[in-house]
């Protein structure tokens, strides 16, 4: 029974760490790098018949040029709300509409904007690391509780904590690599 319980705690912690990594990668994909990417619009939500819905779920998004996005809503009445949502967002882009599609021109990044984006990347990576550490803390508390309740031995608790620490180190290293890749992408002129 003890090994099953330990295995479940380890599996849950590793899954939580994996979800934190995925969330970070999703967040980093939405950061503007001077190149047009449909992922920029993933976090922007519009009111679609009373439900806040991400733009990619209400429109087709294409990149006809390296520095341009074209948003073609399936429902033409969504053009106004899409424009407003983009203007309210932290992208710093001005949408242009012709009544059928919304165009976003991605200007080259200024040096100040690049520095701001790098700070944002560091902040998001640190938030991801905090989530990883919280998963580790929860798992270790669970191991200590199992040990106090005499469901696992002291050695099993120590081995399990070491296993969780290795998973934590690997997840944090992967987050650092993701952050560095995105930082290089942002600083690339």
The two three-digit tokens of residue 168, written as one number: 């934590």
d(CA 139, CA 11): 10
SS3 102: strand
CA-closest candidate to residue 103, choices 119, 124, 79: 79
State both tokens at 60: 């087709």
Segment 96-121 mean pLDDT: 87
Q: Would you state the structure tokens that stand for residue 42, as one six-digit string?
A: 């993933």
Residue 13, H or E segment: helix 2-29
Q: How high does pLDDT run on average in the chain? A: 88
Tokens of 81: 């709300």
Buried b / exposed e across 142-152, counting CB within 10 Å, b at 16+?
A: bbeebbeeeeb
Does pTM top 0.75 for this prediction?
no
Q: At the topology level of CATH, where does 2-29+110-187 sit?
A: Topoisomerase I; Chain A, domain 4 (1.10.132)
What is the per-residue pLDDT across 145-184, written as a single tens digit (0 to 9) for each? Answer: 999 998 888 899 899 999 999 999 999 999 999 999 999 8
Domain ranges of the chain: 2-29+110-187, 38-105
Higher pLDDT, 169 or 50: 169
For 38-105, CATH gives: 3.30.1360.40
E strand segments, 27-93: 45-48, 51-54, 59-65, 68-73
pLDDT tens digits, 63-106: 888 889 999 999 888 899 999 998 888 777 889 998 889 998 88
Q: How far is CA 20 from CA 32, 177, 183, 186, in A?
A: 21, 14, 19, 22
Q: How would residue 125 be classed by pLDDT, with cut points 50, 70 and 90?
A: very high
Give the relative orientation of helices 111-148 and 154-187 as an angle to the nearest 10 degrees. Answer: 170
Q: Phi then psi for 68, rounded to 5 degrees?
A: -145, 140
Token pair for 157: 């608790």
User: Contact, 168 vs 132, CB < 8 A?
Assistant: yes
Q: What token pair was written down for 73?
A: 């809503």
Q: Is the pLDDT of residue 189 over 80?
A: no
Percent of the chain scored above 70 by pLDDT?
97
**Residue 18 to residue 120: CA distance in whole angstroms:** 21
């Amino acid at each position: 029974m003890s090994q099953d319980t330990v295995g479940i705690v380890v599996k849950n912690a590793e899954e939580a760490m994996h979800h934190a990594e995925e969330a970070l990668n999703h967040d980093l994909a939405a950061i503007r790098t001077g190149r047009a990417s449909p992922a920029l619009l993933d976090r922007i939500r519009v009111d679609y018949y009373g439900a806040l819905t991400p733009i990619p779920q209400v429109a087709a998004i294409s990149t006809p040029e390296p520095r341009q996005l074209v948003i073609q809503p399936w429902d033409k009445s969504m053009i106004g709300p899409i424009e407003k949502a983009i203007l309210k967002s932290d992208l710093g882009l001005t949408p242009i509409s012709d009544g059928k599609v919304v165009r976003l021109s991605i200007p080259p990044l200024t040096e100040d904007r690049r520095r701001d984006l790098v700070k944002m990347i560091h902040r998001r990576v640190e938030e991801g690391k905090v989530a990883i550490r919280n998963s580790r803390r929860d798992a270790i508390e669970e191991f200590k509780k199992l040990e106090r309740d005499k469901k696992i031995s002291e050695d099993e608790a120590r081995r399990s904590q070491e296993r969780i620490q290795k998973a934590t180190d690997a997840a944090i290293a992967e987050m650092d690599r993701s952050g560095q890749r995105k930082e290089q992408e942002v600083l690339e002129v």
